[in-house]
Structure 1
């Protein structure tokens, strides 16, 4: 081997080592759902013609899948269809062979399909699904139950009643013809193009069509006896409110603020509602709260409330959550389950914003406190990060929402909104992963927020701060000194955290001094110059609890009493009341009575009652 060749080989090997060293997978805990499912064709359109024998719980369908091959040679095609009976199949009008296996069906083509060619696969089938599509009340011997048919496709259950590629990483337009008894109304995704009655058969054919692509798991049906009230938002979006005929008196209370929510989200998100219309339909025996099917949210009728039931349970929060999903989850959809937080955390955060509009700042802050408590409890079990398919609902919903709140606090509301608008518009009707969100912030604002995503999204855990306070003198000057130590166990999933934290010193004359400091080291001292001649009343670490954390901060009783009575933010007052729990009742009776009479928020009042009982 020549010296020149040896030198070239050395350079190539060195470059490879450097490239491997610099490459980051962003995955610190193995996740089986990290990689999107592979597929050899790109599905474009789904045309479904469906009818039912409800007493037999049977589905009778014909579906045509239009697809384009994305590999050079495609000689087979697999569709998810567990338990579905495939009666016949044709590719581009010619009969083809197929093999039914437990998980679905494999179609075998006579000749391999060429690369980048479009084809139509037509399938006749029957199914008696145990999942995905539910026949409610048709087997009730006493005829007391409502009679309904409805679907629940998330996570991957539409495959039990409709042979399809049932994954979130492919987007399709869909078109549905439903033939059913004219006594009942039918809802599906998109625009109702036609409602054709056949008096001879007593059936009606309902024709719905989606004009923009969405994920297959979002295809839905809702069938039952309903009436519909249509309202229009100020932005011009038609909202169809479905309800049981005998529950007309519940419509206003249940669906209150629906149009206003639409207007709020369009303004706050900065992107117009991305679909032609929006419907909401209650169903009996639903196993969850609600489901954000594209253009058609389906929810449990236990949320359909009258004046009295409204005191205990209402639909507003769920309504806002599912509407937010029309942007976050439907308009842009996670590429794989590892990025599920991009849907649920966003929907949760935005329903918090709606709740703040109608219930106030204290309610919003209490949502964050509940998220904090639940997140810390989850971390006692494991250190899984937000971006992991098996992180659990606490991290995908409230913790992720709190993380988005912190991100907005760090970058600024206007900057956050600009980045989110860019993220949505860039990936409109497409699939996204967490890197797409991070890139959107960089492209919009020019700053790298890798550090934030690394600690809050790609790693797990939360910071645990041990804080102390004292008055000190240095070089003849007096300071209020905070000592902050991060005490969480550091490992490959949990690191030291870097966050801006606001420190506050409140004086007895009512004045205050604030200082925001980036706390990022295991130990830091923060010195705030003392105001001459002023006596400290109380001090705060992380004013209004804007950082998701655990904190130990022992304060004198008199300081806690002042904080409980005078702190500006509800959470800071609540924390002081909570910290006084070990104080004898007689030593806090008068104070608590004053606070109770002054306070309006339920959490503080409840805590006082609990301590005085």
Structure 2
């Protein structure tokens, strides 16, 4: 009963708060603050020798520390299911208890600020944090690698230490491993000494950083070194690439030095870390990339070459992870609640990289794509950006867009000066969201508390309707702008937003950009005009870069399409015009020269592109990007009525994505000519084109269900391909009930994969065939791996099959 009374009381307090100022109670953040700590870690020297076949690590960790604010008689270190051989404190054995989640150490009482060091000899079999790929592959075709991923708190599976981001330390990593492979880690490479058939790699990161940013990558790589110079300073770039992807280093890392230059110019804070800046791809990485201090790991799916760069590349991710070297690595959030200080800024700069490389229209387009993702989250719950559970769309996309709005509000000079002060003041330290706010107060002299409350500590986003009309009265003639807003978040529906943006106006006499402020449910803004002045167009938020969902633009859409100077806005407005397409709409872009903008128009026109007049217009544009955008909107029926030669002309390109689309359209239009098209339109069998090649294989099978075609699809399930590709192949083979002993063996092995998608696809296939005579074969294969795999992997395999 008392519990029910408490719930009613809390609900009443929230309701009263809402009725007074429209503020609501946001869900409690259990990770608002980090764990309390009683010691301050200074340095970690970690010597490890991985056993790749068994998936285990033998290590010696030497951790120096001091008690913080009181005497300490017990120490807790995070260490998940370690086999601890011995622990010494200051050179002498010390009593400890080894639990599944960590190690409790009981020294004599240690005095405050007293320097100490622990030596821990151990063995770990990490389920997370460190990943072993390819070593147990029975076919020998998979890449043999070891790599790590520490964020958020996964390094505790192979490193015994205090695994939280608010205690920074310097690190020293020593790895003994097979001399046939390269070992990459953070900081300065002190030595690489050959000891019989192994190399002892010794790295030092002598600037304090969070432990989750420690990294190791082991594999067969070529390393490409180059120097970057800026204002008399030199920085070495070490960029790693697979030997079997020739030219991959050139296209994958094409803009690395350019991005570094832009970041240093804007932030006025030089790249802060010792040693080369390293970047290394790994197989089946669990995320897109990770910003480990001075040594970025990224998914091999982002590798590009001359065949794939325009389709899939590392460029935007490259800018994102590089920005983290300042935001997240140099200045680190105090707790998970302030995680946006990492990801929102990294996203801000990766959005900027699109503007740097492709122009304003591409930048605006990416902003609107981000807003589309944000909307889906804002209607679900009322979590603010500054919340540990806010989710990727808020920490990344929403925070990135909001930071662009903040820059527009205070101006470029004040914005970047504030960032410079923030980075210099909190370098190698931890910071709160309010620390950044106070720096902006200090630099700009403006009260921006409302902006933080509205965007970082508050939820939702505005949905805005807009209209205008010209009004003449006794005081003269004026243009009235009508804005109506509501919050997209139903929970916080009464919250209104204070918004600052420009309005573009075109009249018979002038073109002006005027700033406006909107803060009420309904706002009217009046602009005086001449008696003989006709208003042709009013365009709110040129570039559409505000976090606003614009609706009901019908009244203004066609006028914006005709008159706006902003190329993106013309396309955006046309898409919102809700009009029936007419051939005369070609006039909106007939004189457009920019191929990127024409590609946007092709997308906006959609299937109407198959109108003969419209098609003839786009067919004359000499741009692979425009050709691809146009072809996407055609189908097999369209090409059955046109000449085969016209379609094949599109394949005379080095752009593999375009050749791929031409091939699919050709075999769709004339399936009987499949073998001919296969010879004429040759898609290179390159590592970077795996997704494309699998889609072709499936399409060919659907046309011609031959044994050769099905064996081709089955080959994509093997270990030489990426996990996502293998999973897609397995799912298709399950759907057509294809069964072979080899595929069963491959799927049993895939059950032990650390990723989620591939083991689920493998289990789905095996559970289907287990209903037949193959059940005994599956059990036999699993027994083989019980002798190799660690216990957690065996349990996972059986759990998947039983689910």
Structure 1 unmatched ranges of 5 or more: 1-24
SS at match of 1:29: coil
Shift in alpha-carbon separation, 1:59–1:91, aligned structure 2, 3 A: same
SS at match of 1:483: strand
Residue 81 (1) aligns with residue 76 (2): no
The partner residue of 1:258 within 256, 259, 262 is: 256
CA distance in structure 1 between the aligned counterparts of 2:338 and 2:429, rounded to whole angstroms: 14
Please state how far the C-alpha of 1:142 moved relative to its aligned partner: 1.5
Shift in alpha-carbon separation, 1:495–1:307, aligned structure 2, 3 A: same
Q: What residue in structure 2 maps to residue 584 of structure 1?
A: 580
Q: What residue in structure 2 maps to residue 30 of structure 1?
A: 28
Residues 135, 148 of structure 1: 8 Å contact kept: yes
Q: What residue in structure 2 maps to residue 595 of structure 1?
A: 589
Residue 418 (1) aligns with residue 417 (2): yes
Q: How many residues align?
A: 580
Residue 178 (1) aligns with residue 175 (2): yes
Residues 326-355 of structure 1: per-residue CA shift (max 9 Å, x gap): 111111111111111111110011112122
Shift in alpha-carbon separation, 1:508–1:176, aligned structure 2, 3 A: same
Residues 150, 221 of structure 1: 8 Å contact kept: yes
CA distance in structure 2 between the aligned counterparts of 1:514 and 1:251, rounded to whole angstroms: 44
- The structure where helix makes up a greater share of residues is 2
Q: What residue in structure 1 maps to residue 46 of structure 2?
A: 48
Q: What residue in structure 2 maps to residue 542 of structure 1?
A: 541
Please state how far the C-alpha of 1:27 moved relative to its aligned partner: 8.5
Please state how far the C-alpha of 1:491 moved relative to its aligned partner: 6.2
Runs (4 or more) in structure 1 with deviation over 4 Å come to 25-28, 489-494, 610-613
- The structure where strand makes up a greater share of residues is 1
Residue 506 (1) aligns with residue 501 (2): no
Residues 486, 494 of structure 2: 8 Å contact kept: no
Residue 562 (1) aligns with residue 556 (2): no
Residues 501, 516 of structure 2: 8 Å contact kept: yes
Residues 459, 493 of structure 1: 8 Å contact kept: no
CA distance in structure 1 between the aligned counterparts of 2:490 and 2:524, rounded to whole angstroms: 21
CA distance in structure 1 between the aligned counterparts of 2:365 and 2:29, rounded to whole angstroms: 32
SS at match of 1:329: coil
CA distance in structure 1 between the aligned counterparts of 2:332 and 2:493, rounded to whole angstroms: 26
SS at match of 2:460: coil
Q: What residue in structure 2 maps to residue 295 of structure 1?
A: 294
Q: What residue in structure 2 maps to residue 9 of structure 1?
A: none
Residues 444-493 of structure 1: per-residue CA shift (max 9 Å, x gap): 22222101111010001012223221111233301110122222268669
Shift in alpha-carbon separation, 1:278–1:523, aligned structure 2, 3 A: same
Residues 379, 490 of structure 2: 8 Å contact kept: no
Residue 219 (1) aligns with residue 218 (2): no
* 1:84-123 map, 5 Å: 84-109=82-107, 111-123=108-120
Residues 292, 298 of structure 1: 8 Å contact kept: yes
CA distance in structure 2 between the aligned counterparts of 1:26 and 1:434, rounded to whole angstroms: 20
Q: What residue in structure 2 maps to residue 322 of structure 1?
A: 321
Q: What residue in structure 2 maps to residue 608 of structure 1?
A: 605
CA distance in structure 1 between the aligned counterparts of 2:398 and 2:54, rounded to whole angstroms: 44
SS at match of 2:437: helix
Residues 44, 65 of structure 1: 8 Å contact kept: yes
Q: What residue in structure 1 maps to residue 480 of structure 2?
A: 481
Residues 382, 491 of structure 2: 8 Å contact kept: no
SS at match of 1:75: coil
SS at match of 2:531: coil
Q: What residue in structure 1 maps to residue 155 of structure 2?
A: 158
Residues 72-109 of structure 1: per-residue CA shift (max 9 Å, x gap): 12111111111111111000011011112221111111
CA distance in structure 2 between the aligned counterparts of 1:462 and 1:82, rounded to whole angstroms: 41
Residues 168, 216 of structure 1: 8 Å contact kept: yes
Please state how far the C-alpha of 1:368 moved relative to its aligned partner: 0.9
Residues 602, 609 of structure 2: 8 Å contact kept: no
CA distance in structure 2 between the aligned counterparts of 1:129 and 1:546, rounded to whole angstroms: 44
* TM-score w.r.t. length of structure 1: 0.91
Please state how far the C-alpha of 1:494 moved relative to its aligned partner: 6.5
Structure 2 unmatched ranges of 5 or more: 1-22, 611-803
Q: What residue in structure 2 maps to residue 285 of structure 1?
A: 284
Please state how far the C-alpha of 1:388 moved relative to its aligned partner: 0.7
Q: What residue in structure 2 maps to residue 246 of structure 1?
A: 244
Q: What residue in structure 1 maps to residue 70 of structure 2?
A: 72
Shift in alpha-carbon separation, 1:439–1:27, aligned structure 2, 3 A: farther
Residues 131, 157 of structure 1: 8 Å contact kept: yes
Residues 129, 155 of structure 2: 8 Å contact kept: yes
CA distance in structure 2 between the aligned counterparts of 1:161 and 1:518, rounded to whole angstroms: 54
CA distance in structure 1 between the aligned counterparts of 2:359 and 2:553, rounded to whole angstroms: 30
Q: What residue in structure 1 maps to residue 143 of structure 2?
A: 146
* 1:298-317 map, 5 Å: 298-317=297-316
Shift in alpha-carbon separation, 1:443–1:406, aligned structure 2, 3 A: same
Residues 182-212 of structure 1: per-residue CA shift (max 9 Å, x gap): 11111111000111112xx311111100110
Residues 460, 493 of structure 1: 8 Å contact kept: no
* TM-score w.r.t. length of structure 2: 0.70
Residues 596, 608 of structure 1: 8 Å contact kept: no
